[in-house]
Structure 1
C-alpha cells in the first residue's frame, strides 16, 4: 500500500473506508471527494463537520493536522 499523500487520505485508510464509501456518506460523487482529498477542491465547513463525525474526531482541526 502506498503511503497516504494527505491527512484526509490517511484518516480514510486507517478507518478502512474507500473513497466511494466516504463520498456516499458525504452525499457527493467519488470524483469530487477525490478532488477534496487531493487538494484540488476546497474542504467546506459543512463537509469538514461531516468528516469529523464520520471519523469520530474531537475537532475539525484534526482533519488537517496530526492530533497532539
Structure 2
C-alpha cells in the first residue's frame, strides 16, 4: 500500500474504500474524484460536507490537511 499524499487519501484508505466507491457515493466520476483527491483545496463546501459524512471525518479540516 502506498503512502497517502494527504488526509483525504488517508481517510479513504483507512475505510478500505476505492476511489471508485467514494465517487459512486458522491455521484461523480472516478476521474473527477481523483482530481479532487490530488488537490483537496479545490473541493467545494458542499462536496466537503458530503465527503465528511462518507469518510466519517470529525471535521472538514481533517481531510484538507497534509499527512505528516
Matched residue, 2:38: 38
Mark the runs of 5 or more structure 1 residues left unpaired by the alignment: none
Mark the runs of 5 or more structure 2 residues left unpaired by the alignment: none
Helix, strand or coil for the counterpart of 2:52?
Answer: helix
Q: How well do the aligned residues superpose, as a CA RMSD in angstroms?
A: 1.9
Helix, strand or coil for the counterpart of 2:42?
Answer: coil
Matched residue, 1:28: 28
Shift of 1:42: 1.3
The ranges of structure 1 where at least 4 consecutive aligned residues each deviate by more than 2 angstroms after the TM superposition are none
With the length of structure 1 as denominator, give the TM-score of the two structures. Answer: 0.86
Matched residue, 1:51: 51
Structure with bigger RCO (C-alpha 8 Å, 6+ apart)? 2
Helix, strand or coil for the counterpart of 1:57?
Answer: coil
**How many pairs align?**
66
Structure with higher helix content: 2
